[in-house]
Structure 1
Amino acid sequence: MATIDDFNDEPADQAVQALRACNAAPRFAAELVAGRPYRDADTLMARAEAVARELPWEDVAVALAAHPRIGDRVEGSSAEAESSRREQSSMGAADEDTRAALLAGNRAYEERFDHVFLIRASGRTPAEMLAELRRRLDNDEETERAEVTEQLAQITALRVKALVS
């Protein structure tokens, strides 16, 4: 899909498939497709962000399972893999100390919260992501779930924007 008109006119199953690369939670794609047609890309992005923020934790967990760890080299040619590579492109400039610290931080985070550390990598340096990982390790579970959901909403909006731009 290339434009908002393409998205609005796409058969529902194809639109759902495209949206699953933006956010793997099934409810997310279903709600966005049910809301068509959208006036413009900004309206679609705003709705995507709102739906992602409203997802129950069980759906957020489904979306999390589709995200690679920050710092991992993303393999594959799926739309989600391509998005992750683009979003994490700043990791290419990370020094070995930062990479090692992210690896250790990811392990500690996963032990603590039992899911991957999720952060909007786009527009952030490796050092900024590492600092956020370290800060968030001190969160309680409820606070962290809220932060994860917000990060997912931001990532989702960026991916939806790319889908219709």
Structure 2
Amino acid sequence: MNLQEFDTAPADELRPLLAACCDVPRWVDSVLEARPYADLAALTKVADEAARSLTNDEVARALAAHPRIGDRAQGESTEAAWSRKEQSGVGDDPVVRDALAAGNREYEQRFNRVFLICATGLSATDMLTALRHRLTNDDTTETVVVHEELRKIALLRLAKAIT
């Protein structure tokens, strides 16, 4: 979809696409309400500002739509396809996959949420290193990191959606 199509499409047709970028209704509404956009930079600016203002509850809602790192997203949805591509660096090495699974469990026990990382362009080792490092964060620091990772994912997915 190009920017002109995005600007003129009915909002109800765009909601699922935007929710696949960031499953937070207020974020989706913010992006839709600012249409039309002069260019992709203007769209990105609005989406970025909206993502930066997400509450902890909204982030928790968005996290519920993300599979664990190392889990293969199932289904034919746009979000599942994006997730599989984003996590393509995980690979099939059973040792690394087991280490990621163990790290995910430890992270979830420590922080009571799924480990989220903008995995695009990262290798399995990169993700595992980041996971182990983030396990040393305090709750406040990790909350900030999770917000930032979600923001990066939302903007990358939005850029994929609007060509």
What amino acid sits opposite 2:97 in the alignment?
R
Q: CA deviation at 1:41?
A: 1.7
Q: Which residue of 1 aligns with 2:136?
A: 138
| RMSD across aligned positions (CA) | 1.0
- 1:29-40 correspondence to structure 2 within 5 Å: 29-40=28-39
2:47 and 2:155 in contact (8 A); partners too: yes
1:57 corresponding residue in structure 2: 56
| Residue ranges of structure 1 left out of the alignment (5+ in a row) | none
TM-score (norm 2): 0.96
Count of equivalent residues: 163
Once residues 49 and 99 of structure 2 are traced to their aligned partners in structure 1, the CA distance between those partners, rounded to angstroms, is: 33
What corresponds to 1:91 in structure 2?
Answer: 90
Identify unmatched segments of 5+ residues in structure 2.
Answer: none
Question: What is the rounded CA distance, in whole Å, between the counterparts of 2:124 and 2:95 in structure 1?
Answer: 11
CA deviation after TM superposition for structure 1 residue 39, in Å:
1.2
Give the corresponding residue for 2:115: 117
CA distance in 2, matches of 1:132, 1:50: 25
- 1:95 to partner: Cα distance: 2.0
CA distance in 1, matches of 2:52, 2:67: 20
Q: Shift of the alpha carbon at 1:130?
A: 0.4
For 2:157 and 2:125, the matched residues in 1 are separated by: 23
Percent identity, aligned pairs only, is 46
1:160 corresponding residue in structure 2: 158
Shift of residue 42, structure 1, vs aligned partner:
2.4
Deviation of the 1:19 alpha carbon: 0.3
